[in-house]
A and B are shown apart, each in its own frame.
Chain A
Amino acid sequence: MTMWKRKLLDRLFSGSAYGAIAVMAFFLVIVIGPIFLKGIGAYLFEGTIDYRRMMLNQFNRGDEQALDVEWAEVKQERKIIYDALFAFEKELDNMSSSRRRELKPAFKQTKEAVAILLGPEPGTPLPALPRRLYGQTRWERAELKAKDVLFEESWDYSGAQGKKVMTPRAPLFKGTALEPLFSKIEKDLESLMRPERTFYPQFLTDKSIDAHFFGGIGPEVMGTIYLALGAMLIAVPLGVIAAIYFQEYAKEGFVFSLLRSCVNTLAGVPSVVFGLFGLAFFINTLRVSPGKSVVAGALTLALLVLPTVIRAAEEAIASVPRTYKEAALSLGAGKWRTILTVILPAALPGILTGIVISMGRAAGETAPIIFTAAVSVGPMVLPSEIFTTSTPALSWNLYNICTEHEAVDEIRHVQYGMALTLVMIVLALNTLAIVLRAKVSRKLKG
C-alpha cells in the first residue's frame, strides 16, 4: 500500500471514531432536548382565565376577588358569542328546511367546539366530568381549539396518503346571526381567554384531576420516591454486607465462586422477569401483600439493583488503601471494628456513588413494577398503606398516559412534564454520583 493510501485510511478511521462520539452526543441531545423543552411547559405556560378559575375551584388557589372582577369582564366579552349562538338558534327555526339541513350539523359542531374552547354555556346544566367544566386552561391549546371553531376539518383521500383539509366555516354562515362569532374568536381570542404567564411549581406535588386533565403528578412522584427509597432500604444493607463478606471474609473456593456467579447472573436477568418473579414469589407465595403493593414493588426493585450495589461497594472497599487497615489493627482494633471505623468510612463516597446510581435505576424502572406495584390512577399513598396499596409511579404512569389514556393528544404537556420530571430525578442522582466520584478520585490522589 502506498503511503498516501495508508494516511487516508488513518484519517478515515480517526474521523469515523470521532463521528461515533458525535453520534452519541447527537442522540443524547435529540432524546433529552424535546423532553426538556416541552417538559418545561408543564411548569411554565400561558394560563387562561379558565385555568385560574379551575385552580380556584379545585385547589383553592388564587385571588378570588381579582378573579371575580376579571371573570365579570370576560363574561362580558364572551356574551357576544353566546348571544350569537342564541340568536342563530332562533334564526334556524325560521329557515327553509333545506337551508336548515345544510346549516344545522355545522352549527352543532360549532357549538360543541365553542363549549370545548370556552367551557359550558352559562345557564346550561353543569357537566359531570371536570374536564368539561372549564374552557381551555392553556393558551396554546386554546389557540388550537379556536381553529376547531373556525374551520371544518376533513380528509382528502384522493392521493396516495390522506391529506387534512381545513375549510373555514365563516363563509357558510355569512349573513346569519352566527357570523359575529367567527370574527370575534378569530380577532379577540386573547380577550376571551386572557392568557397570562403562569408558573406552576405545584405540578410536582398536586394530585391529578380527571385523569390528568388538570392538576399535577404528585401521587406519581410520591410513588416513585416510595419505590426507589424502599428498594434502597432493602438493597443497601444486603449489598454492603455481601460486599464486606466478599472482600474481607470470603476465602477463594467453590462456595465463593458459586456465590460470585450467582451475583453476576442476577445482574443479567431481564427486568420484566424480575416483575414476574415478584408476582410469583412476593405476592403469590410469600403474600407480603394481598395484591400489588408498594412493598412488593420495592422488594422486586431491590433485587434488581442488588448486583449494582454489591459491585460498587466491593470496588469501594477494595480501593481503600491496605495501610489504613494495618494501622487500625496495629492499634489493637479487631477486624470488625476496623471494618466499621476505618474501612467503611473510607469507602463511603464510593459506596454512596453506587447507591445513588442504583437509586436512579430503581426510580426509572418500569417493567418490574407493572405486576407488583403500579396502578394507572390512584391517590397519593400514605406511609401506612404501603403494605396494602398499589401506587402510581412516574415511570409506569408515563407509559400509561401516553398509550392507554383516552385522550392522549389532549394531555401532551402532562406527558412531557412527567418525562422531564423523571429524567430530572434520574439525572440529578447521576450528577450527584459523578460529583461524588470526582471527590473520591481527588482524595485518592492525595
Chain B
Amino acid sequence: MKQTEQFILSEADVRRRKFFTGLGQTFLFAITSVAALAVLAIIFFIARDALPFFSGSRTWAFFTSKEWYPTSATPKFGAAAIFAGSFIVTLTAVLFAVPPGILAAVCLSDLLPFNVRQVVKPVVEILAAIPSVVYGFFALVVLAPFLQDTLGAASGVNALNASIILAIMALPTIVSVSEDALQAAGRELREGSYALGATRAETLLKVVIPSAMSGIFSAVLLGIMRALGETMVVWMASGNAAQIPSPFYNLLQPIRTLTATIAGDMGEADQMTGSAHYHVLFAMGLSLLIFSFLCNLAGEWVVNRQRKRLRGA
C-alpha cells in the first residue's frame, strides 16, 4: 500500500543539504549586499573624483567666493553664490509647500469621507509621478511668461519660478508622509479629545498634530531633500545666474543651484575628465550627497527618538 519513505538522512546528505542551503543563502546575501552597498560605491566614487579639487586655497574660495568663472583662462571656482542659490530655492519651496501640505494631509486623514479620499489620493500620486522635466517645461512655457507679464519680472525664469514649481513637486511627498503620521496617531487619541468637548480644529491642532509631529518632521525633511536634489526644474526655471540676489529675498532675480550647475556644466567638462572643472562638479555632488545624508540621519534620529518615547523610556 503506502511506501514508507525514509525521512532520516545520512550524514553525507545532511552535510550536502547544509552546504546547498548555505550556498543559497550566501547567494541571496551577496545580491542584497550589492544592492545595498551601491550607496557606499556612490560615496566612494563621488568622493574620489571630488577630492582632487580640494587643494589649499581652492577649497576656501569654493565655499566663500562668489566668483564662478570655470571656463575662463584663469578659472575661478567660487561657489558661494551657487550654494546660496540652492539654499534660497529649497527654503522658499519648502516654506510654500509645508502649510498646504500639512493641511491637505489633515484633510485626507480626518475630513474627507472614505470614498472621496479614494478619489483624491490618486491626485496626489499623479502629482508625484509627473516627470520633473515636464514640470520644468511647464515652468518655462507657461509660468515664466505669466510671471513676466503679471509681476513685471525682468525675466520669467527666476528664483520665484523655480521655488513655486519645486513646492508643487515637494507637496505630494509632504502630504503622503504627513498623512501616514496623522493616521498613525490613532482613533483613541481623537476620541479622547472630542469626548472633552473639543472642536475638530482644536483636536487636530492641539492633540493630533503635536503627537504626529515626528512624522510630519520627516515629511518636511523628505520635502527638503526632494527640492534640494531636484535638477531639471531649477535648471530650466531658475535663470542660472551665479549670483546672490540683492537683497537676498528678491526672488524675482535669477539664481543658480548646485544641481543645475552640475547638469549644465558636465556636458562641457566631461570631455576633459580630470580637469579642475570636472572635479569641482564632483565636489558639488559630494556636497549634495553629504547634505542628503545629514537629512537622512536627522530623520532617523527623530523616528528613533519617537519610537523610544512610545516605548515609554
Contacts and interface: CB of A to CB of B under 8 A. Distances in A.
Contact flag (A, B; Cβ within 8 A) = yes
Interface of A: 6-7, 9-10, 12-14, 16-21, 23-25, 27-28, 30-32, 34-35, 161, 237-239, 241-242, 244-246, 249-250, 258-266, 268-277, 279-281, 284-285, 303, 306, 310, 336, 357, 360-361, 363-367, 370-371, 395-396, 398-399, 402-403, 412, 415, 419, 422-423, 426-427, 430, 434
Contacts of B41: 277, 281
A276 B270 CA distance: 10
Contacts of A269: 39, 42, 229, 289, 292
A365 B285 CA distance: 17
Contacts of A427: 126, 129
A62 B292 CA distance: 56
A364 B134 contact: yes
B142 interface: yes
Interface string B150-192: 0010000000000000001001000100000000000000000
B129 A426 contact: yes
A399 B236 contact: yes
Nearest to A336: B24
Contacts of A273: 42, 46, 229, 285, 288-289
B136 A399 contact: yes
Given A242-B36, A277-B42, A281-B41, 16 more contacts: A10-B201, A21-B104, A28-B127, A34-B142, A35-B138, A238-B34, A245-B28, A259-B32, A269-B229, A367-B259, A371-B267, A398-B133, A399-B133, A399-B136, A423-B134, A434-B125
A237 B30 CA distance: 13
A265 B229 contact: no
B95 interface: no
Contacts of B24: 336
A31 B171 CA distance: 14
A137 B35 CA distance: 51
A31 B292 contact: no
Contacts of B262: 272, 275-276
A395 B232 CA distance: 10
8 contacts: A266-B42, A268-B292, A277-B41, A285-B45, A367-B231, A395-B232, A434-B122, A434-B125
Contacts of B235: 399
Contact of A14 (B46, B136, B200): B200
Nearest to A16: B103
Interface stretch (B59-67, B74-82, B105-113): B105-113
Contact of A28 (B126, B142, B300): B126
Contact of A272 (B49, B103, B288): B288
B87 interface: no
B225 interface: yes
A263 B100 contact: no
Contacts of A402: 137, 140-141, 236
A363 B134 CA distance: 12
A284 B45 CA distance: 10
B69 interface: no
B31 A242 contact: yes
B54 interface: no
Query: Of residues B48, B101, B120, B136, which shows the largest number of chain A Cβ atoms within 10 Å of its Cβ?
Result: B136
Given A9-B201, A423-B134, A20 B107 contact: yes
Contact of B111 (A12, A17, A361, A395): A17
Interface in B294-310: 295-296, 300
Nearest to B101: A20
A30 B142 CA distance: 9
B130 to A, nearest CB: 6
B266 interface: yes
Contacts of A364: 129-134
Contact of B132 (A28, A262, A268, A366): A366
A239 B35 CA distance: 7
Contact of B201 (A13, A244, A366): A13
B131 A10 contact: no
Contacts of B34: 238
A344 B28 CA distance: 15
A266 B231 contact: no
Contacts of B201: 6, 9-10, 12-14
B33 interface: yes
A47 B101 CA distance: 45
Contacts of A415: 137, 141
Query: Of residues B38, B104, B106, B168, which shows the largest number of chain A Cβ atoms within 10 Å of its Cβ?
Result: B38
Contact of B228 (A35, A270, A357): A270
A363 B132 CA distance: 11
B35 A263 contact: yes
Query: Of residues B104, B134, B138, which shows the largest number of chain A Cβ atoms within 10 Å of its Cβ?
Result: B134
A24 B142 contact: no
Contacts of A284: 273
B175 A245 contact: no
Contacts of B14: none
B53 interface: no
B171 A24 contact: yes
A272 B263 contact: yes
B293 interface: yes
A271 B132 CA distance: 11
B47 to A, nearest CB: 10
Given A6-B199, A31-B135, A265 B285 contact: no
